[in-house]
Structures are given as structure tokens and as C-alpha cells.
Amino acid sequence: MLPQPASPIRFRRLLLTGAAGNLGRELRPRLKTYCETLRLSHRSEMGEAGAGEEIMVAGLEDAGAVLGLLKDVDAVVHMGGVSTEQPWDKILAGNIVGAYNLYEAARKNGVKRIVFASSNHVTGFYRQDEVIDSRDPVRPDGLYGLSKAFGENLAQLYWDRYRIETVSLRIGSSFTAPKDRRMLATWMSYDDTERLIVAALTAPVVGHSIIYGMSDNATTWWDNTHAKHIGYRPRDSSDVFRAEVEARLPLLDASDPAVIYQGGAFVRTGPFE
Ligand code: 15L
């Protein structure tokens, strides 16, 4: 967790969806430091609420439950839904219906800022020898990436029509350390993930902005030129892991689509047979 100034609290109540997921569990204690009350939601149990926490079990496809989740919150960090390639019915429920329910609940409850966990898989079918930015056309690498593109478009609609602001985070690979050679380009440390989310929550004016979520890695495929107003400055880098990762993991066959495309193995995963 980042070292904190005397009182980093800036919100009365924040909602974290997907709180029991991989990233949600990591963010739970971190986000607590920025609000008086952290409301946690997930479709399954999350254990006991700690000090300053509220727990609400809800599936995102349940519009009534999601409406209740967003009641009296200042802002939302939306990590919920499906986070990998899955069968269509799960993606439909979690990422399409779920995203719609979330934005409708924001509109009805007067919530004005959402930080949306999008994904680099929105543009996974660009090649690893290309550098792209947030204005390049989407090229999803599967149904999961496509559902995240839907979420970004939904965010744009709710900004244009209802003035609900969103920062869509096209998260690379947020893990303790890069797990493979690809992640030397896509990795984002947990501390940088926290920095990015806090910047997205607190930047004064964001409309609907899109930013790639990565640390300050030497190898990169993504250019955040159009997101400078968010004020995110990564401080970590995958470079410290490079020698170990390259020694441990052999080079893959250069004709493997997972090596050619930015989405890695996601480009050949999924129910497409
Ligand atoms: C994602 O969108 C996934 O949620 C995560 O599990 C990682 O696989 C990541 O992308 C990645 O591209 O490494």
C-alpha cells in the first residue's frame, strides 16, 4: 500500500464491485484509506465487514440489487463481472447486462463518477510490433474483450447523455510480478494500480476518458498521450523482473498467435470452435 499523507480520505462512501475477485481483494484495504465507508459487493460471500466497510452480496445481472448497491455512494470502482474469456452466457450476464444495470443505477442514484475496469483485450488483436493509443479503433481479441468495448461505449453514452463521468482503465496485467514474457510489456504493479485508480477518481474533469493501465515498463505497446489530464504517473517497472523472467521462460514459437498479438494467449482462447 502506498505511503499515505496524514488524511488521504476524500470520499464519504465508495463502492467497490468485484471485491472478492483477484484484484478486488488487493484493492479492498487500499481503497479503504480514501473513504469513510467502503461498500464492497460481489456475487458471492466476502466474509465479515471490517471497520468502515459495508458488505452487499449481489449479482450484477440483478437490476434491483444493483440499484441498491449504488444508493448513497460518491463514486464507483467497477471491478465486477467476468475478467477472462468465458462462455457467452456468463459474459452476457456479468459484462453486458451487468454494465447496463450499473450505469442505470448510477443515473437513478445521481452517482457522477465511475472508474471502469476495462481491459487491454479491447485492442488485443493489434500486433506486438505496433504502438497504439486510445483513439485507435478497437480490435477485441474475444467475447471478453468485446464485452469490455461495450462497457466503454456505454460509458461514453452515459457521459454524452447524462453527464456521468467515467475513466475506462484498459488494464494490462495487474499482478504481484509479470508471469510471462508478454507481461514484461503489460504488467502494472499493485501500487501503480492504486495510483491509477486514485488518479481516475480524483482528476477534476474526465468526461469519458480511456487510459491503458501499465507500469513504466521499457517495452510498451500503448501510448497514453490522450490521457495526460488524468495525472497518472507510474513509479514501478517490469524491468526489474526481466532477467529472471527471460531466464526462466523459453522463447515461444514466433509464429504462435500468442506471440504475434498484444492479447497474448487470449487471441486463441474461447468458445469459438
Ligand atoms: C485481463 O483482462 C484479465 O482480467 C487478467 O486476468 C489478465 O489476464 C490480463 O487481462 C492480461 O492481459 O494479462
**The domain that contains 176 carries what CATH number?**
3.40.50.720
What's the confidence (pLDDT) of residue 3?
Answer: 65
Residues with Cβ within 8 Å of 252's Cβ and at least 6 positions away in sequence, in order, are 181, 258, 259
Report how many domains make up the chain: 1
For the stretch 78-126, pLDDT in tens is 999 999 999 999 999 999 999 999 999 999 999 999 999 999 999 999 9
Question: Is 3 within the bounds of a domain?
Answer: no
What's the confidence (pLDDT) of residue 2?
Answer: 73
Alpha helices in 33-171 (DSSP H): 63-69, 88-91, 98-109, 143-162
What's the confidence (pLDDT) of residue 9?
Answer: 83
Question: Is 6 within the bounds of a domain?
Answer: no
Question: Is 5 within the bounds of a domain?
Answer: no
Question: Is 2 within the bounds of a domain?
Answer: no
User: Which atom of ligand 1 is least distant from the CA of 263?
Assistant: 12
User: Which atom of ligand 1 is least distant from the CA of 266?
Assistant: 12
Catalytic residues: 144
**For residue 83, what are the domain limits?**
11-272
Q: Do residues 8 and 31 make contact, with C-beta atoms less than 8 angstroms apart?
A: no
Q: What is the pTM of this model?
A: 0.96
Question: Is 247 within the bounds of a domain?
Answer: yes
Q: Do residues 114 and 164 make contact, with C-beta atoms less than 8 angstroms apart?
A: yes
Question: Is 80 within the bounds of a domain?
Answer: yes
Question: Is 132 within the bounds of a domain?
Answer: yes
Residue with CA closest to ligand 1 atom 8: 173
Question: Is 148 within the bounds of a domain?
Answer: yes
Q: Which stretches of the chain drop beneath a pLDDT of 70?
A: 3-7, 271-273
**Which contiguous run of DSSP H or E holds residue 251?**
none
What's the confidence (pLDDT) of residue 6?
Answer: 61
State in Å: Cα 109 to ligand 1 middle.
Answer: 31
